Amino acid sequence: MSLKFCSFASGSSGNCYLVKSDETAILIDAGISGKRILEGLEYTHTPREMVSAILVTHEHIDHVQSLPVMTKRIPDVQIYANEATWDQIERPVPEENMGFFTTGEEFEIGDLVIRPFPVSHDAAEPVGFSIYGDGQQISICTDSGYITEEIYEEIRAADLLLLEANHEKEMLLFGRYPYPLKQRILGDEGHLSNLTCGECLCRIVAEEPKKRQILLGHLSHENNTPEVAMQAIVNTLEEERIFTGDELRIEVAMRDSMSKIYEL
């Protein structure tokens, strides 16, 4: 068995990711249109009936927009969220499609093991996810104001890590966002900056050297660009004498287009 990963969209206007093994396919979030999600499944050669579940990180609209649509397009799909998140989701989902998990406790979907872990964001009970199969780990960590020790311990061994690089701080500070929104983004329950993302990667690579794929995710349309994010991350790594190559591959998960299919 090998794990595959594809980002259908990653950004402040919508998020959706696919993880699949030979037997099981799951989506993480459904914050883009149902049409785009189905196009992603076709692009990755994933029959829609193979999709067993949608895992929800938190209730913000850029993560849950198409939950009702997907229960119509894939009638047997189970949508998993913790109880606090379900209490805040305003998109109507049939009761028979609702699944629950407890943050911090592993559960299984087909041949995949899922572990939801807490992140720091201004939502009811936001989480990231680590997905395990055949000794491999994919971790997704976005929408967090900072990297807690619990987050770090969770993501440090990932073979593929999608980590938030939401904004370049100077672009945000001097941009057109109103002051309260700037403070929200910069706060402990906001979003990770390019610098914070880079510092986290430096620590991971130094303490847990291995071959890994890094995807920079949830980039802001207003306060970042793929080029700025990549350069900021590479500069931060190189200051610590850490260089990209076969052992450390870094790419950007784009806001409005699908990534390539990564196979571990």
List, for residues 155-197, the tens digit of each pLDDT value.
999 999 999 999 999 999 999 999 999 999 999 999 999 999 9
List, for residues 98-147, the tens digit of each pLDDT value.
999 999 999 999 999 999 999 999 999 999 999 999 899 999 999 999 99
Rounded to whole angstroms, the Cα distance separating 34 from 55 reads: 15
For 264, the token pair is 């571990």
Q: At what angle do helices 226-239 and 194-207 cross, to 10 degrees?
A: 40
Element housing 69 (H / E): helix 67-73
The confidence band for 1, taking pLDDT boundaries of 50, 70 and 90, is low
- Give the burial class of 183: count Cβ atoms within 10 A of its Cβ; 0-12 exposed, 13-18 middle, 19 or more buried: exposed
CB crowding 16-50: b at 16 or more within 10 Å, else e: bbbbbbeebbbbbbbbbebebbbebbeebebebee
Distance of CA 232 to the CA centre of its chain: 20
Q: Which residues contact 86 (CB under 8 A, 6 or more apart)?
A: 98, 100
pLDDT at residue 180 in the model: 95
List, for residues 244-259, the tens digit of each pLDDT value.
999 999 999 999 999 9
pLDDT at residue 116 in the model: 98
Classified as helix, coil or strand, 25 is strand
End-to-end CA distance of the chain: 10
pLDDT at residue 2 in the model: 86
CATH architecture of 4-263: 4-Layer Sandwich (3.60)
* pLDDT over 70 at 42, yes or no: yes
